[in-house]
Structure 1
Amino acid sequence: MDGRAEAPAAGTVLNALASGRGAAFAIDEHTTAEVRLDGDADDVRGEIAGAPDADTDLIERCVELVTAEFGDGEGGTVRTESDVPMASGLKSSSAAANATVLATLDALGVEDVDREAACRIGVTAAREAGVTVTGAFDDASASMLGGVTVTDNRTDDLLARETVDWDVLVWTPPERAFSADADVDRCRRIAPVADLVAELALDGRYGEAMTVNGFAFCAALDAPTDPLLEALPDVTGVSLSGTGPSFTAVGERETLEELREQWETRPGTTRLTTTETSGGRTR
């Protein structure tokens, strides 16, 4: 009973930490999950490629929840491998959860499961594993469904989804930032700005929403604003992604290639990619 699936990373349009509403867009960088189920196994054992000491509670819980609902509580193994750096603000946890849920369904031979419902299984696992503050439905829905999504994480409602075709520039500094460690109280102080960002996103003005979100959350999280200023006014949108440390900019490829030359002067990695429209899928 083997299954394999992948799900994309995502960048932030609106961080849900301030008000509970969030928005994100899928990026063409992926996490792959391989699941092997065994009806005689008593538990689930997880492994993250290249990170032998990493916490595997999230992916193990994803397998457990899926087999409890769609199987007979089978145990087994799950292994993830990713292009997405962990704790970088690019929704690595959501991508891993989505890929694991889909791979487990694949291993069970379950077809035609609503992908929004499958996404919610991963969100439940993330909450139970303690890897999210907001519930991460915005990030998870963008990763699972593709395109850009706007959500209310307090009720797990999908408020809007749209396919977008952007080139994307990502700069990831060498340090890591775990969203569960973010200063939630400081973020909640900018809730009025987050409400404005949500309205911009629901109006389809995603680039403007990103940029306002970027400046607001850089202030709340004491992150640098120079990457934002360097991107303006030529990009469609630019923001701190999640709680950082990554920044993402979207727009025309030629513009992003010029911006890349500036962002590459800093430590870390800079990647030029695109949005992802198909979301999570079995392989």
Structure 2
Amino acid sequence: MHGRASAPAAGTVLNALACGKGSAFAIDAETTAEVELDFSGSFAGEIADAPDADTALIERCVELAVEEHGGRDVSGGHVWTESEVPMAAGLKSSSAAANATVLATLSALGVADDVPREEACRLGVRAARDAGVTVTGAFDDASASMLGGVTVTDNRSDELLDREPISWDVLVWTPPEQAYSADADVDRCQRIAPVAELVADLALDGRYGEAMTVNGFAFAAALDFPADPMLDALPDVRGVSLSGTGPSFVAVGERAVLEQVRDRWNQREGTTWLTKTQNDGARTR
């Protein structure tokens, strides 16, 4: 019983830490998972190029998918993931890994086409909560990765408030340091809840660029990141924000404009890359 699937990374429109509502958009960088199911009675995980990385999330994804859709016969398995997405960079690597692993497991079970994508997404969110890798459950990030396009969610109830396809060029800058969302200062983030509610209203009105820029300044302050990368991109880009709990920043807009911003961001230590949005979401392979 073998399955393989991939899921895209995502950038932030609204971080859900402040008010429980969040918004994210899928970008064209993927995590791939391969799953082999067996009758060993245990689940094991492996992350390519990161032999010491914590595999609790992907193991729990396989376990939950088997519990929900595998019947009594399957009792164990192995999951292996590889990714184009840097870990702990604010680009939803955990959500992409969870989605790819859940879909690969469902494929191995032969039921991938029978399980609605939103339901599969919620399995990954449950696994993330169980593994302790998220504060909010990250349904905003997970839904964008699973469904593609841009989504707006209420993470308190795992409700999808809106989704639509988009076509943006995207610039990403990732500095060398890492930042784990589970370590974010939630109290400081909750102080900007009124601003976050405004960002949610902008996102639900389809004003995603304005929403992410307001989000970026607010969360850069709350999480103690410099706003200088955003100022490098304004006023020409459509929107720019700290992505997730950092440390990456993402900007969207016309490609020619983003190429100019890339020249400025390239002067900073780290990695800068141009990509685009992705509307297909996660898929079996």
TM-score (norm 1): 0.99
CA distance in 2, matches of 1:45, 1:225: 41
One-letter amino acid of the counterpart of residue 156, structure 1: D
AA of the residue aligned to 1:19: C
User: Per-residue displacement from partner, 1:219-258 (whole Å, max 9, x unpaired)?
Assistant: 1011010111111111000000000000000000000000
Residue 163 (structure 1) aligns with: 165
CA RMSD for the aligned pairs? 0.6
Equivalent residue runs for 1:241-256 within 5 Å: 241-256=243-258
Aligned residues, how many? 282
Gaps of 5+ in 2: none
Match of 2:260 in 1: 258
Partner residue in 2 for 1:176 = 178
Please name the residue that 1:270 is paired with. 272
1:74: Cα distance to partner?
Answer: 2.6
Q: Could you say what secondary structure the match of 2:53 adopts?
A: coil
Match of 1:37 in 2: 37
**Residue number in structure 1 paired with 2:80:** 79
Length-normalised TM-score, structure 2? 0.98
- Offset from partner CA, 1:100-157 (integer Å, 9 cap, x none): 0000000011122100000000000000000000110000000000000000000000
Gaps of 5+ in 1: none
Query: What is the CA distance between 1:69 and its match in structure 2?
Result: 1.0
SS of the equivalent of 2:218 reads helix
The 5-angstrom pairing of residues 22-101 of structure 1 reads: 22-38=22-38, 40-71=39-70, 72=72, 73-101=74-102
Q: Kindly state the Cα deviation for residue 177 of structure 1 after the two structures are TM-superposed.
A: 0.1
In structure 2, what is the Cα distance between the partners aligned to 1:87 and 1:9? 12
Of residues 8-17 and 106-115 in structure 1, the stretch that sits farther from structure 2 once superposed is 106-115
* Stretches of 4+ aligned residues off by more than 4 angstroms: none
Percent identity between the two aligned chains: 76
CA distance in 2, matches of 1:266, 1:206: 26
Partner of residue 19, structure 1 = 19
**2:153 maps to what in 1?**
151
State the SS of the aligned residue for 1:59. Answer: helix
The correspondence for 2:203, drawn from 176, 201, 204, is 201
Residue in 1 that maps onto 2:132: 130
- Counterpart CA distance in 2 for 1:192 and 1:142 is 24
SS in 2 for 1:80: strand
CA distance in 2 between counterparts of 1:155 and 1:219 reads 27
